[in-house]
Amino acid sequence: MSFDERFDVIVIGAGHAGCEAASAAARMGAQTALVTLNLDLIGQMSCNPAIGGIAKGHIVREIDALGGIMGRIIDRTGIQFRLLNRSRGPAVQAPRAQADRSLYRIEMRHTLEATPNLHLRQGLVIDFLIKDGRVRGVELQDTRRLRADAVIVATGTFLNGLIHTGRRTYTAGRAGEPASIELAESLKRLGFPVGRLKTGTPPRLDGRTIDWDSFEPQPADERPVPFSFSTEAIEQPQVTCYIGYTNEHVHNYIRSNIHESPLYSGQIKGIGPRYCPSIEDKVVKFPDKLRHQLFLEPEGHNTTEVYLNGFSTSMPAELQQELVHKIPGLEEARIIRPGYAIEYDFVDPRELTPFLQTQSVAGLFFAGQINGTTGYEEAACQGLLAGINATLFIRGREGFRLQRTESYIGVLIDDLITHGVDEPYRMFTSRAECRLSLRHDTADIRLSPYGHKLGLLGDSEWNSFNQRRQRIAILRAALESTRFKRSDSIHYSLCQMLQTDLGCTISLAQLAQRPNVDISLILQYLPSELRSNVSLAELGTALADLLYSGYIEAQRHHLERVYHHDNLYIHENFNYRLISGLSHEMVERLERVRPHTFGQARHISGMTPAALSLLLFRLQFQQSA
Amino acid sequence: MRKLLRKDHFSPRANRVSLQTIFDPESGETLDRALITYFQAPHSFTGEDVIEFSCHGSPVLLLRVIDALLLLGARTADPGEFTLRALAHGRINLNQAEAIRDLIDAQTHAAVRQAARQLGGELSARLQPIKNALLDIIVPLESSLEFVEDDLPEITLERISERLSNLIQRLGDLASTFRAGRLLKEGLRIALVGRPNVGKSSVFNRLLASDRAIVTDIPGTTRDSLSELINIQDILILLTDTAGVRTSDNLIEAIGIERTRRAMADADLIILVLDGTQTLTSEDKELLADVRENKYLIALNKSDLEDFALSNAGGLNGAPIMPISAKTGAGFDAFRDAILKPFTATDIQDGCFLITNARHYDLLRRASDALYSAKQLLESRTSEDLILLRLYESLRILGEITGETTPEDVLSQIFATFCIGK
């Protein structure tokens, strides 16, 4: 075969997964091509212009801790930062930021262009070049052939994308962009089990036509918490978002026109995400709810376009306009871009190894929505891991994976490859068995050592990580060793202030765990040499470490007891049929997933305790033999 | 099958019984006329295709039929293999498998009834509403954390605390049936004690309705402890006749007395046998002081004799005293009732559900403890993530009986309950 260009790694698609993948591979030293349909839309936020939130914000911080780029870019382009769940336990707090959509794109392209070994190419990939079960490269529509031993597919909603607005349907990857039809066919030809998912987006409004006074302002945090451990300050001017509500008029109008929605006419076959329902779904499934919440989110500093979050719909465009007019405050509002639903192909992720490589074609990796996930953050972290693993693969090195107990990324990939997906998969903190250990502010402690070892974190970042780790350790020690006895005057005044007896002696760490004790109070009593230059965020981290340490220790013991067989390795060619007494159905489940460890086998849905006992028995027998 | 029946076209109808002649595959002689039942998968105990032979009851004949089958390539099942296969095919859950083991072990009718119930997954069924109620607490709490930007109804701590108390109560009620349940399954241990020659062995024999213990009038005849199983109102009782307790320099008797002390320590109930024709001796009083630490009952024996007087046992104010005659059997009906009385506070006879398995009892206790701890955290205004940690722990423990509740199940419940999502 002749090739126009040769690379080590090719990444198809420059969305959130593709950008991370290409950046990681290139920074690890692989000559990397990032092939996209449109160079001007690199890092495009197809849906809402926001990054983070509960669990998703955790993932972004994990990406950053490993040396990914999403955190830094949103920090430079975010126009409204908020730390969610500020009043709740530290484990469920997470940052969220509205982005300036176009700034984010520009910053992403700029970052990629400044990355050595990274080569941007515009074009439509139509086929994989495969020889002897190994990927050799890709073919573009314009007849160019690119050579590489590792190819990462990060095509998002473009694979066989089909847009619905009312009864009108047309093939597209996003509104106004062509779908990837040939590549979808090529995947099917290779025998991958392909399914169909659906997602949707709301209309965007002309901000000049909105009666802003009818809405409740939702300001940005006064002290924004950045995503990246390397960001010192958020410099973008911060904007306000607005909250409003639908009413019964809107709902009735939707109900009487429900037949116009392709979701309810039977036209859409793909399964949509339950946690991101269209307004049609909300009204039909929760008829007793008298109003639904809406968010007006500005798309950027230099545009009047406004994203109507909470109003995702695939109704015909003229009906969307009528519906919008019925919303209090939007009586005069004009739609700039109508909302739509999009159906796209995904591949059953149980086809993947824990390294996101396909089991049937060596060197072929999948990341993002092709694996059935939804969300920029979920996509980005897969891209990062695929980029890392593609590079390790071409070097003949062992793959890199994360455990469920150490990261949300580990939970996500493990869930995907063991359970597959029934609907677009989104991360929730409750999916993690040990969410107390997976705080957003400890992502660096958990993962930066990996990032450094992989070569994704440079020396200066590594140094600042070590300094931060040390500062927090010093704070923890100070919080535990600073104690006030009954004889101290501070003890007396604290008792007076809290109107309670604090016992004979109380440490700052114990004081912090009492109700109604604010972090500023703790700061006030820190030893003076620490107080002068401590960061409130780091003090918060030290306090949270101490708050959870007992629980985490107890949980670790429990997990060790219950899951101490989980790391038992299952050989790739393990023959389940040889286990006497294991039913045909159980054998089939195991053969479909081909778990690498007993822990993965344990998570396969429908596995009976007896079948697992039989398997465990066999594995232990083999080990001892 | 065809070789065994000598029918080349034999094909049994699913889930039907047929009468067939079984032949020895080697000699060709007729072995038996037997009923053949074909249970077609999945309608069998194990969930697989099963053929059952119902032969005539001669052990020799049965062995020959088994030999014939082995000759044709079958193998004998390992102990418990059918249950394991049923478990592996999901025909029964772990809970039911344990009940089958209990069923096999059960020795009395009441225990059989109890085992039969758990086989039907009744414990699972009873725990299911408790588990659902727990999910109803978890769902709004979890939603308030995960979907902070959604417009969810407010939850009040008081309401959650009230619901938790209710669940703790329900789990506690179920767990409290364990003592009676265990009694049913494992039976009671009862020790007969008394100084020598008050007639312990006669009482033992009368309860046994046989002449198991050697009775003489020589004090100290029973040198070792004798134990027998008896059955009072379907409750299995391990009755131990002990050596009479007295100070003795005879070594064998001393060993017997040591065993008596041990039997007393193990017993669920001690029956102190006194001689109703005599006033209390210092040995009687010593024994009385010993047994008072346990559940005990006094049998005032020899009511058939003239010298017998209830007042002879005077000064035992409040102690349960049953006048009996081991010789004539007088007073034994009331005596038998009195033996069971301390254990029937939770009425075993009314057919209510009882926990009989120590593992289940332990799980219920732990599930309830976790809820209690959640309630305390809630009341001290601890953050929701820590409260949920305890609630999930309880859910997981209940899941060991009812089957696992996955995070996906919880999420589904959330999405079914609340309108979530932008």
Write the pLDDT tens digit of every residue in B243-276.
Answer: 666 555 555 556 666 777 777 777 888 899 988 8
* The pLDDT value given to residue B345: 53
Residue B221 has pLDDT above 60, yes or no: no
Tell me, what DSSP letter sits at residue B279?
Answer: P
Do A62 and A407 touch, CB atoms closer than 8 A? yes
Token digits of residue B225: 């402890």
Residue B219 has pLDDT above 80, yes or no: no
Do B299 and B271 touch, CB atoms closer than 8 A? yes
Do A342 and A312 touch, CB atoms closer than 8 A? no
Least Cα separation, residue A315 to chain B (angstroms): 17
Chain B residues within 8 A of A53 when measuring between CB atoms: 149
Among A159-173, A565-579, B52-66, the range scoring the smallest mean pLDDT is B52-66
At B349, the pLDDT band (50, 70, 90 cuts) reads very low
Strands A118-122 and A32-36: parallel
Residue ranges of domains in chain B, CATH in brackets: 2-76 (3.30.1360.120), 96-177+354-415 (1.20.120.430), 186-348 (3.40.50.300)
At residue A62, φ and ψ (nearest 5 deg) are: -65, -40
Q: Which of A292, A295, A608 lies closest to B88 in CB terms?
A: A608
DSSP string across B118-149:
HHTTHHHHHHHHHHHHHHHHHHHHHHHHHTTT
* The pLDDT value given to residue A144: 97
Chain B residues within 8 A of A90 when measuring between CB atoms: 383
Q: Which of B85, B147, B421 lies closest to A581 in CB terms?
A: B85
pLDDT exceeding 90 applies to what percent of chain A?
A: 77
pLDDT tens digits, one per residue of A356-404: 999 999 999 999 999 999 999 999 999 999 999 999 999 999 999 998 8
Least Cα separation, residue B110 to chain A (angstroms): 29
Do A381 and A409 touch, CB atoms closer than 8 A? yes
Least Cα separation, residue A83 to chain B (angstroms): 11
At B348, the pLDDT band (50, 70, 90 cuts) reads very low
At residue A609, φ and ψ (nearest 5 deg) are: -55, -40
Least Cα separation, residue B137 to chain A (angstroms): 15
* Cβ-defined contact of B384 to A551 (cutoff 8 Å): no
Q: Can you tell me whether residue A595 is helix, strand or coil?
A: coil
A85 at B interface, C-beta within 8 A: yes
* The pLDDT value given to residue A298: 95
Element spanning A107, H or E: helix A101-113
* The pLDDT value given to residue A29: 97
Strands A241-245 and A216-218: antiparallel
Work out the burial of residue A582: count CB atoms within 10 Å of its CB; fewer than 13 is exposed, 13-18 middle, 19 or more buried. Answer: buried
Start-to-end CA distance of chain B, whole Å, equals 64
pLDDT tens digits, one per residue of A519-562: 889 999 999 888 888 999 999 999 999 999 988 888 777 777 66
Residue A516 has pLDDT above 50, yes or no: yes
What is the strand order of the sheet A125-131 is part of? A5-6, A145-147, A134-140, A125-131
* The pLDDT value given to residue A179: 95
Report in angstroms the alpha-carbon separations of B344 from B172, B179, B333, B348. 18, 10, 16, 6
At B59, the pLDDT band (50, 70, 90 cuts) reads low
pLDDT tens digits, one per residue of A80-93: 999 999 989 999 99
* Cβ-defined contact of A282 to B419 (cutoff 8 Å): yes
pLDDT tens digits, one per residue of A257-313: 999 999 898 898 888 888 889 999 999 999 999 999 999 999 999 999 999 999 999
* The pLDDT value given to residue B110: 63
Chain A residues within 8 A of B90 when measuring between CB atoms: 608
Most confidently modeled range among A329-333, A416-420, B45-49: A329-333
Which has more pLDDT, B307 or A145? A145
Among A241-250, A385-394, B157-166, B336-345, the range scoring the smallest mean pLDDT is B336-345
* The pLDDT value given to residue B143: 92
Start-to-end CA distance of chain A, whole Å, equals 48
Least Cα separation, residue B259 to chain A (angstroms): 40
Average pLDDT over residues A431-458: 96
Residue A333: strand pairing partners: none
Report in angstroms the alpha-carbon separations of A62 from A43, A238, A366, A415, A451. 19, 24, 20, 17, 10
Closest CA to A153 of A65, A52, A36: A36
Residue A443 has pLDDT above 70, yes or no: yes
At B93, the pLDDT band (50, 70, 90 cuts) reads low
DSSP string across B54-103:
E--S-HHHHHHHHHHHHHTT--PPPTTHHHHHHHHTTSS-HHHHHHHHHH
Residue B152: other Cβ atoms inside 10 A: 17
At residue B15, φ and ψ (nearest 5 deg) are: 55, 35
* The pLDDT value given to residue A442: 97
Most confidently modeled range among A518-527, B58-67, B408-417: A518-527
Residue B350 has pLDDT above 50, yes or no: no
Residue B344 has pLDDT above 70, yes or no: no
By C-alpha distance, the chain A residue nearest B406 is A431
Report in angstroms the alpha-carbon separations of A244 from A294, A309, B134, B372. 5, 10, 34, 41
At B213, the pLDDT band (50, 70, 90 cuts) reads low
Rounded mean pLDDT of chain B?
Answer: 79
Average pLDDT over residues B296-321: 81
Q: Which of B149, B384, B407 lies closest to A89 in CB terms?
A: B384
Residue A65 has pLDDT above 80, yes or no: yes
Which has more pLDDT, A9 or B229? A9
Least Cα separation, residue B20 to chain A (angstroms): 30
> What is the rounded CA–CA span in Å between residue B44 and residue B91?
9
* Cβ-defined contact of B385 to A89 (cutoff 8 Å): yes
Chain A residues within 8 A of B93 when measuring between CB atoms: 609
Which has more pLDDT, A35 or A579? A35
The predicted complex's ipTM stands at 0.85
By C-alpha distance, the chain A residue nearest B413 is A274
Average pLDDT over residues A209-214: 97
Average pLDDT over residues B355-363: 76
Residue B312 has pLDDT above 80, yes or no: no
pLDDT tens digits, one per residue of B382-403: 889 999 999 999 998 888 777 7
Strands A9-12 and A32-36: parallel
* The pLDDT value given to residue B65: 83
Among A431-440, B189-198, B330-339, B356-365, the range scoring the smallest mean pLDDT is B356-365
Do B143 and B418 touch, CB atoms closer than 8 A? yes
Chain A residues within 8 A of B84 when measuring between CB atoms: 581, 610, 614
By C-alpha distance, the chain B residue nearest A276 is B421
Work out the burial of residue B280: count CB atoms within 10 Å of its CB; fewer than 13 is exposed, 13-18 middle, 19 or more buried. Answer: middle
Average pLDDT over residues A124-131: 97
Most confidently modeled range among A311-325, A557-571, B26-40: A311-325
Token digits of residue A262: 């392709």
Q: Can you tell me whether residue A26 is helix, strand or coil?
A: helix
